[in-house]
Amino acid sequence: MTTTRFAPSPTGRLHVGNIRTALHNWMLAKKHGGRFLLRIDDTDAERSREEYVEAIRADLAWLGIEPEGEGRQSARLDRYEAAFAVLKAAGRVYPCYETAQELDLKRKVLLGRGLPPIYDRGALDLSDAQRAAKEAEGIAPHWRFKLDHDEPIEWTDGIRGAQKFDAAQLSDPVVRRADGSWLYMLPSAVDDVDMDVTHVLRGEDHVSNTAVQIQIFTALYAAGFAAAKPLLEFAHEALLVGNEGKLSKRLGSLGCDAFREKGIEPEALIGLLARLGTSQPVEPITDRAKLIESFDLSTFGRAPARFDDAELERLNTAIVHQMEFDTVKDRLPAGMDEAGWHAVRPNLSTVHEAIELWRLVTGPIDQVEFSAEDRAYLAEAARQLHWSDDPWHALTAALKNSTGRKGKPLFLPLRQALTGMDHGPDMGELLPLIGEAEARARLEKAAHG
């Protein structure tokens, strides 16, 4: 079974890049009838916050992205210890005693020589006596995973195609800090093994991490930590950029709370992010089954995916214009019925704007200054107003005949007197909602200044 996962660290709110990753993993699983899992990567006890765990769950729920299961790394520390023990016994992890300053100096020396800043495995040259002396001095080691330099690391990426890395050109990654806490690499691989993850879809900034983790998977299986499984399928998508054409810090803070505050519908955000970075058009599609069916990694490009606020707002407007009354009725102002929703919907960019437009029905409205000629015209309109199934068209037809007005001089003063606005909802739909008595009162008030 296809199994994907979304693995955020609860050190902050989800931002638009995280949301896109979660969405694409959810769609990939759904496309193949599989499972989508949420994994909370909370091994960083100092920075992880329970409030962010709750926020992650709430944001996914708002988006309609429902995991089939959830795991937390903080509840799985025994498994990481077990994996560490088998890798240590197999000689695939080793202790290192360099300080951060010493490592920084080594990197600077290599860069100064025009060489890649790869760890030199100096810790492997220490004798048992030298290691014991370090620890006697109170220097606790951090631990690195020893990469196998004999074989190239290769996989076929779902987006980038054939990938090949020379392990000798990579630094042995630190998997455990001197204080015993875990870094990303080993716990992530252990979780993927235990949770039967089959596909990992993430940003292209993780490509070199994938090369390392492939060797970690292989080492875990070889050491007997778990029964060997086929290698996971990996795909790395282009990162999001802003309109300025480069990675934007703003995108790192743009999350569901910001979208909700702006009145963005989850379907608009889903519709944009589902297609962003692909060759498929961004369309106001509210049927998720259609989006899932069209999801295809082969349509993803290598160029950075440009996130445009204006495009999101246009999409949101188009989706609001499709929304049925039953979908939004709990979010509408008191008294607005289905007829009211249909009247104002074509003029909305967000559902929240219905509150302001509904004021055109309930009042009070802003008064407009009219010329003496228009005041006389509005007084005539008040006299001509006779209620019917279609009072607006009956009124304008009568006024056209009696005054000879047509076009803007016929319609605009009426709209201004009845709504206080120069433009807005269709008056044919709006006038019946205002009602005969209130409409006549507004016309008479405008006529008498």
Residues composing the chain: 449
**241-320, CATH topology level:** Glutamyl-tRNA Synthetase; domain 2 (1.10.1160)
pLDDT (0 to 100) of residue 314: 97
pLDDT (0 to 100) of residue 128: 94
What residue ranges do the domains of the chain occupy?
241-320, 362-447
The whole-number mean pLDDT for each consecutive block of 10 residues of the chain, a chain of 449 residues, reads 96 92 98 97 91 96 97 96 98 96 94 93 95 94 97 95 96 96 96 97 96 97 94 95 70 85 96 96 95 97 92 97 96 96 96 95 93 96 94 96 96 97 95 96 93
The backbone torsions φ and ψ at residue 95, rounded to the nearest 5 degrees and listed phi first, read: -80, 145
State the Cα–Cα distance between residues 252 and 247, nearest whole angstrom: 9
pLDDT (0 to 100) of residue 172: 97
Question: If you search the block for the tokens 């008064």, which residue do you land on?
Answer: 367
Tell me which residue of 184, 195, 185 sits closest to 29, measured CA to CA.
195
pLDDT (0 to 100) of residue 247: 57
Q: Is 106 annotated as a binding residue?
A: no
What tokens appear for 90 in the block? 């197999």
pLDDT (0 to 100) of residue 249: 63
pLDDT (0 to 100) of residue 312: 96
* Domains 241-320 and 362-447 equal at CATH topology level: no
Q: Name the architecture of domain 362-447.
A: Orthogonal Bundle (1.10)
What tokens appear for 270 in the block? 């889903």
Q: Are strands 35-40 and 174-176 parallel, antiparallel or unpaired?
A: unpaired
Taking the mean position of all CA atoms in its chain, how far away is CA 306? Answer: 13
What tokens appear for 230 in the block? 């086929």
Instruction: Determine the 3-state secondary structure of 200 from DSSP.
Output: strand
Amino acid in the structure at residue 120: D
Q: What is the dihedral of CA 425, 429, 432, 435, to 10 degrees?
A: -10
pLDDT (0 to 100) of residue 151: 85
**144: β partners:** 94, 174
pLDDT (0 to 100) of residue 246: 60
Instruction: Determine the 3-state secondary structure of 105 from DSSP.
Output: helix
Longest CA–CA span in the chain (Å) reads 110
Alpha helix positions (H), 32-70: 50-63
For the question of whether the overall pTM of this predicted structure is more than 0.85, the answer is yes
Let me know: does 188 contact 213? Beta carbons within 8 Å.
yes
pLDDT (0 to 100) of residue 45: 86
**What is the DSSP track for 161-228?**
EEEEE-GGGSPPPEEE-TTS-B-SHHHHHHHHHHTT--EEEEEGGGHHHHHHHHHHHHHHHHTTSS--
